[in-house]
Structures are given as structure tokens and as C-alpha cells.
Structure 1
């Protein structure tokens, strides 16, 4: 298989004058971008970085970030992208764990870098005259090598070299490094192109952060098809809509939260969105209400629900997300999936059709990682008999389609019954007064846990009305929320995942009204 440097060269050779990347006033063709990538690769080598070394990058989605990603692929350096909102202690852990000697950052991430003790021991490359840098990004790009090597870099990596190391969110302890080889990344990008039916010259919004697997996939996929990557440094629905119209965006790949924001933006109704023919979402389930609204608003030719992770990019894909709302489809083209019982210790303990269990994926797949970075303890928990135990719960229906119901840790056990939050959220999302919803289990002396729905309202509604809505739905009685808490916002991660642990621990802002918390009849 080709390495990623050669993959980029394919587009340069096929379509040198095609537009490749946009970031504000910066618009570069493939040949122009290739030249800048060469200058950055030369600069990285001038710092003493060699094939296999790790480089920490703490940047938003800007042309420099995308360029650094490709420069590392050519130079054989392993890029380690970090959330630009990371705290100093998180950055400390990543720098030490990855063994990195160079950090590249910008004003948005400066506080963490300047405060990080580990960062003080590194060479610090700064953008936009940021405080604390030992060298500027402009100086890095000004580095010259002998001959034309800087302008025409040749791939120094093989398909078996590491390309990128993504760090998981670390919601239950220290974040874990997920090293992925060039061949893993290229296979995942090829699958992304195939499963989203991308054609040559597609244009996408570079919204999903490039420290996240979804963002990296969008970047690589566009290069595979001579496409255009339009940078969105920080999410803003109005700016995104403006970019869609200005650049004729043809495909979107977002988390559900961002689709919600687009539809809610005042400019949406007057924005020309007809160029968009393909929608894709991942990162979290899309509730039934939002699914229907997106389908009606965009009328896409293809609406893809993609389910995956940093470890195994694609678990499953549904190319017609509205046909069976909630379904994540079937295993991707590079993947084998199974559902095992919730208490399974073996990959052979299969759950029955319709029985909720843990989702596992075979690591022999082309997109799958091989293990966590220097974490044998994590490998022992997650990898068994050549299968990756995802920690996600789900079931297969009679047709063989996968339904993802949540995380093993999110399962609510009330009165001895296992209750998935996703089922309840899907029902409540269909109520016209519910803007957003998240369901968690809170401690209860009698039931162990009681089902609680946190609601962000779009208009006035009482808990009794929502309870009646659930009673008249297909939701079984024991799953009905016993309490409704009305909040100003549902807490989410930077990539749109609901942070249930914050709701459970009381880290939320209730509505400023007397009816912020309402209980329903627990015994009904």
C-alpha cells in the first residue's frame, strides 16, 4: 500500500492547478500547497526531528495545521495533534507520554503551553507572534535545504511507519495514545471515500478538529479525490453557512450537534445550500427529531450514519440514515463486528439477536490499530483474542443491522432492569418543545438508579406533558423518566459528545425558573 506522502503526490500530479485548501484569504492549489508542505518539512528536519519522532501540535483547524499534518507524512515524523483547549496538566501528560521534543502552538492554546512544565523543556514553535515561542512558524518555513528538496519533498516514510498518534478523551483517567500507521490511515480514508460515495473534486468544510479522527479523515479523503478542504478554525454556524455558499460545499461530515446548530442559525433559511448533496455524521447518535429535520432541510442524495473510533476508524455504516432511524447499519468494508454479552470475557460469547451486549471489532481489519502507546494495562482490558472490545453497547436486529445504545458505563440499572439512555432520548427528541435532551441514571435508594431526563426547551413545556408523551409512545413503562430537569445547555465535549458524567455530578446550569426541576409519578 502507498504511504501518505505518495498519496498526496498523486493529487499533485493528477491535478496540480486544482484548488486544494482554503483558510480565509489563503487559497492554495495542490502544486502551491505541495511547495509549502516542502518548506515546512524542511523546517521540521532542521529542528533535528527524524523519521519516527513525535511532534506535538496544538492548533485550531487552520492552513498551518493541515500543512503540518502533510509535512509530517512526507518527513516520516509522527504528528501528535492535541486539543487546543487542553489544560496544562493534559499537555504535560501528552508531551511526556509521547516523548516529544517540539511543540507547535498559537495564541488560542498559549496559556496551556506557557503553563505546562513539560513544554518548557521543548522547542516551542509559535504562530501569530505568540508569547513564549523559541522560534516562529515563519522562521521554520524559511529554512532552506540544498537543491530543490524543500520545494519538492520526497516521501521518507513507508506504509508501515506510524503516521499519527491520536489521544483519546481520557474521561476515565489519563488519555491513551492511539498510534496509527500510514496504511491504517490510508485504508480508513479510502473507506471513507467509498462509503460516502465521494467523487473527484468534492468540497468539504474542515470543521471537525484535526486532533480528532473525523477531522483527519476529512483532510485525507479530500486529497484522495483532488478535493477542497475549507478550514473552519473555530465552530460558528453563521461562518459555516457563509462558507457553504461561497465555496459550493458538496459534502458535510459533522457530529449531530453541529447539524443542530446549522438548522438553528437565523441565516439558514436564506443561505444557498443546494450544492450539498451528501451528508454524513458520526461521533454520537443523531436523535430521530434531528434526523428528520436534516433530511427535510438538505434533501441529500446520500445521508450516512458512520460509527467508529480512533482505534478502529469504521465499525459500521448506514448509507440511508433515515430509512431505519437509530440504525448504525452494518460492518464497514474493512471491518468485522460482533455483539457479545455484557459480561463476556471472550470474543465467542455472542449475544442473541435483539439482545443488548458489547460491540467488538476484529483487529485484523485494515483500519484497526494494533494497541495503545505504552499501555499494556489498557491493551489487556480492551484487546482479547484479536478483537477490540469497544466499551459501547448495542444489539443486532432481525435484519442484521446494528443499533448502538450507549456506553457500558452509561447503562442505567433501575430496579434490576438495564436501560439504555439512547432509546429514551430518541423518543423525547420528537417532542416539538424539546430542543436537546440527555438521559442519565441518578442514585436512588429504592431503585438503585432512577431515570432522569435533562431537557433544553425550545418553548414552554411541563414535565407532565413530556411524561404523557412518553406514555403514549412505544417506550416501555420502566424506561420512562421519573424526573425532568430543565437546563440552559446540555454539556458536551469539543466534538459534540454528551458528557453524561457532568450531568450525574451536577455540573450543569438549570433554567432560571421555578419549574427547573419537575418529578413525575415514580410509582405509575
Structure 2
């Protein structure tokens, strides 16, 4: 079953339900379907055909949603990329995808036009951006009824996400209609969503998390309220105003919201179901969410663009930070870690021992390989399993705990130390707002555990942090940081993942110099 047809089914079921909101603009399912058909038929008339890649470089705005569904009805491939990418990165993605069309807005206009100036690609502008072959408004005017829908098969590619990656070029992740449909169904089941839920469109639609919110709301005739320009206040205001019932966010946004000085002034009682993914959440923040939001459902979802669900946990009140059991369509293992890629799916480690997390590719949520990257495919896919590059551990109950990236593991004096276990301890200090841990080179130990801390209180000192770690019953002495750095902010990706490579390379603003290492 293809996604465009499924959307039409939703329109037929409840045409009068609200579907999409941005500012003062509101669309019912019937109204948004008219918009989608106009844009789809106009794109088709301009030569966009089945299988063509369409590359939006947009914020989370209603035009992005309309384009997504228009592309699905044509059997083309929605290929969104981060609007913050550089000229060279945009050019690389457009060429790599062999894009037929690119869509941009004022914030991405300059970089897009420079990136594609020597390329044959249809340029479409939104929100008054200049230099296009056609504007979005002209597409709407040119559109004539429904497009001619081709025969679309379950295994046809409908979406290609470019993974940000920590090093090297981004990799295209092609996903089929079946992959996306199944991932959306898993998301609905695992988060216990019901018909006519409502959510906010704040997670980028060039990211798997944004896609999940978009599709799950559509299949349930739910409402999506878009936030093109993120701020914690915008989130608070929209949840209250639109009586939002569920959210799926990165920990950074939860942190911004629950610790916001205006939090107590908003009525968030409509919000019953919350989920997070994309990065680890500290025990402290987990408890704060329970205390302040009082969710009926609180889920930690662990997955990726490539497979979507690896595992999920809905008993965070019992095991904060736990990634739980394998997902609805999934089967996972923890195997001997090998950065060279020589471990096999049968190299299983015992319970309680860290290893690399691998997941079964028989899941209908799973991709089958990277776009134009046989090298990356060969490294990640072995014997029917996807090697995630993440370190994890299964406890005696068979519950998964994710320990960070394989290449984030700190080897100090021959001991393996995982940043998350150190971060969880330091995050409990009352004067710490945020913390990230990385290994810095050391002539004696190879690497030293280094804690980068955003202070909540300007009186915070290295000495009291070190004393706090020494007194903790949760942290072995050899895992204790030997260096503390107070910083203005922790470097993160657009979806909230800590960029430890930037900490290792010195790309941060130190608040005040603390030269001495802890003894």
C-alpha cells in the first residue's frame, strides 16, 4: 500500500478533522488534500515523474508538508536536507541524489543558488525567495485537479534521508513505501497513539523523527501544528493553545521546556503521551519530566534513519535511561565490538558486558543499503544484520542500555569507559545544567576522561565537581573525570546529538579557564 493512497483514505474517513496548522493558517483534511493535488499536478506538468528525487531545503513549514504528500502521490522520492548545510554539502547531496528539483526559502536561498548554479535542476522557491524557475504559489495556481497517479509498488523508494554522520560525506538512506508505512505503524503502537491525536511539528522533516510524527498523525487523522522557528516558548505556547496530546522530541527540547523560567505559567494538561529519541536522556531530566509533565505514556525510542526502531522502553519510572526491549518488528543482539568491522552476528557477549548493538534486517522497517555507497553498505550490513556502531549492554532482565557510539568509547589506562555512565552522575549535581564527557589525548593514559559542563550556577568549581564524583556510589574511581572544563554550550547536531568530536577538537567556548586537572 503506497503512502499517497493511504493519505487519501484518511481524507475520505474524516475530511472535516483538522490536519495542519501554522500560525493563523488552518487546514482540514479535505482542504489540505486540495492543496496537495494542485501542487502534485503542477509538478507533474513540469516534468517531475515517478522515481525522480525532489530535494526540499526548508524549515518545518506547511509547504514542506504539502510537498511531501504531493511527491508521494507522484511516486517520486522526497529527499529533504538540512537548510543549514553549506554550499558544498548541498551541491554534494543534489548531485549524489541526481535530483530533478530543489525547493528553497529565503534562509537557504543564497547557498542553494550557489550550490546548483552549474546543475540542471528545477528550482522552486517558497516564501518569496528569489532566483527560481517557478514559485510555490505559481505551482498552486497552475495545478489542475488530481495528478495522474502511476502504479506504485510497496518496495518503490518514497523517501531518502541523508544521515548527518560524524565524519565524511552524508550517506543517502533510501526507504520504501513499505518501510515508511511499517515504521509509522510501529510508532503508533509503541507510543500508544489513538485516532485524532495532535502533535507539534518541531522535529525536522529532514530527520526520521520528524517523518514519524508526520505520518503517524496522518494515518490517525491527527493534527500537526508546525513550528518553523524553534524556541522553548513557541513549544509551550502551542501545546497550551492547540491542546496538544502527544510529542516526540529530542532530550534537548525537553530540557529547554521543563527548565524554562515561564514553564509554570502554561497549562500543559492536554499532553498525555511523550516520547524521546535521538540522544541519551539523563536520569535527572527523566525524573523532571515525570514530575512536571506527569505523562500517562513516556517512551524512550532507540533507532535510526536506516531501520527506524531498534528498541523502546515505556517503563522509565522503573529504569530511567533504559532502551528496553526490541521493537515491535525487531530482534537485536549485543556482540563483540570491533571498529575494523570483523565481528559477526554470532559473536554475542554475555549479559552485563558491553558490546556493539546489531539489529535484524528482516524487519519491514529496515532499509536494504545506502545510496551509491557500496563501501558503507558492506561495513554496516553483514549476514542479514545491521551493525549500528552503537555500544550497549543487556542487563539480567534482557533490557538494553545504550552506552554511546563505538568510537566515543574512552580507553584510559587500558580500561574502557563509556561517556554516558559518567554524564549520568555529574548531571545530578545541583549546579550543573548540562554535561558531556569525552576522552582527550594523554601521554600516560592514552586518553583522560574529560567532563565539559554548562554550569547552572556561576559559583560552580572544579573542586566541588570532583568531590561530588568521588563521593558517588555509582562511579568507579578509574571512571572519574581527571579534567573538568566549564563551557558556554555543549556542541550538538540540529537534532540534539552531542558532537563529541567538536569537544575533542576544542570547538567550544570556555567560560573561564581551569587549567588544573583533578588529582
TM range (shorter): over 0.9
* Secondary structure, aligned partner of 1:488: coil
TM-superposed CA distance for 1:155, in Å, is 6.7
Show structure 2 runs of 5+ residues with no match. none
Per-residue CA shift, 1:452-487, capped at 9, x if unaligned?
000000012111211111112110111000010000
Per-residue CA shift, 1:76-134, capped at 9, x if unaligned?
01010000111111101101100012110001111210221467532210012212212
Pick from 322, 346, 349 the counterpart of residue 348 of structure 1: 346
Distance 1:183 1:35, change over 3 A: same
Task: Give the Cα–Cα distance (whole angstroms) in 2 for the partners of residues 96 and 502 of structure 1.
Answer: 28
- Residue 437 of structure 1: aligned partner: 435
In the TM superposition, 1:320-469 aligns within 5 A as 320-343=315-338, 345-459=343-457, 460-469=459-468
In the TM superposition, 1:85-96 aligns within 5 A as 85-96=84-95
Per-residue CA shift, 1:298-336, capped at 9, x if unaligned?
010011000000001000000122310121001001111
Task: Give the Cα–Cα distance (whole angstroms) in 1 for the partners of residues 61 and 271 of structure 2.
Answer: 22
Pair 1:193 & 2:205 matched: no
CA contact (8 A) 1:105 1:113 kept: yes
Task: Give the Cα–Cα distance (whole angstroms) in 1 for the partners of residues 343 and 451 of structure 2.
Answer: 32
Please report the RMSD computed on the Cα atoms of aligned residues, expressed in angstroms.
1.2
Of 124-133 and 268-277, more deviation after overlay is shown by 124-133
Task: Give the Cα–Cα distance (whole angstroms) in 1 for the partners of residues 108 and 171 of structure 2.
Answer: 21
Task: Give the Cα–Cα distance (whole angstroms) in 2 for the partners of residues 144 and 172 of structure 1.
Answer: 42
Pair 1:149 & 2:146 matched: yes
CA contact (8 A) 1:114 1:120 kept: no
CA contact (8 A) 2:40 2:143 kept: no
What number of residue pairs does the alignment pair up?
514
Pair 1:232 & 2:227 matched: yes
- Residue 470 of structure 1: aligned partner: 469
Per-residue CA shift, 1:217-266, capped at 9, x if unaligned?
00000011110011011211111111011100011110000011112322
- Residue 493 of structure 2: aligned partner: 493
Pair 1:129 & 2:128 matched: yes
Of 114-123 and 324-333, more deviation after overlay is shown by 114-123
* Secondary structure, aligned partner of 1:303: strand
Task: Give the Cα–Cα distance (whole angstroms) in 2 for the partners of residues 4 and 449 of structure 1.
Answer: 49
Pair 1:504 & 2:504 matched: yes
- Residue 271 of structure 2: aligned partner: 276
Pick from 172, 183, 200 the counterpart of residue 178 of structure 2: 183
* Secondary structure, aligned partner of 1:280: strand
CA contact (8 A) 1:510 1:516 kept: no
TM-score w.r.t. length of structure 1: 0.96
TM-superposed CA distance for 1:345, in Å, is 2.0
TM-superposed CA distance for 1:154, in Å, is 5.0
* Secondary structure, aligned partner of 2:304: coil
CA contact (8 A) 1:487 1:510 kept: yes
Pick from 254, 262, 275 the counterpart of residue 259 of structure 1: 254
TM-superposed CA distance for 1:443, in Å, is 0.2
Pair 1:312 & 2:307 matched: yes
* Secondary structure, aligned partner of 2:387: strand
Task: Give the Cα–Cα distance (whole angstroms) in 2 for the partners of residues 368 and 454 of structure 1.
Answer: 35
Task: Give the Cα–Cα distance (whole angstroms) in 2 for the partners of residues 136 and 144 of structure 1.
Answer: 12
* Secondary structure, aligned partner of 1:139: helix
Pair 1:140 & 2:135 matched: no
CA contact (8 A) 1:433 1:461 kept: yes
Task: Give the Cα–Cα distance (whole angstroms) in 2 for the partners of residues 464 and 424 of structure 1.
Answer: 17
Task: Give the Cα–Cα distance (whole angstroms) in 1 for the partners of residues 293 and 300 of structure 2.
Answer: 15
Distance 1:378 1:444, change over 3 A: same
In the TM superposition, 1:63-102 aligns within 5 A as 63-102=62-101
Task: Give the Cα–Cα distance (whole angstroms) in 2 for the partners of residues 18 and 404 of structure 1.
Answer: 39
- Residue 12 of structure 2: aligned partner: 13
- Residue 45 of structure 1: aligned partner: 44
TM-superposed CA distance for 1:267, in Å, is 2.0
CA contact (8 A) 2:50 2:150 kept: no
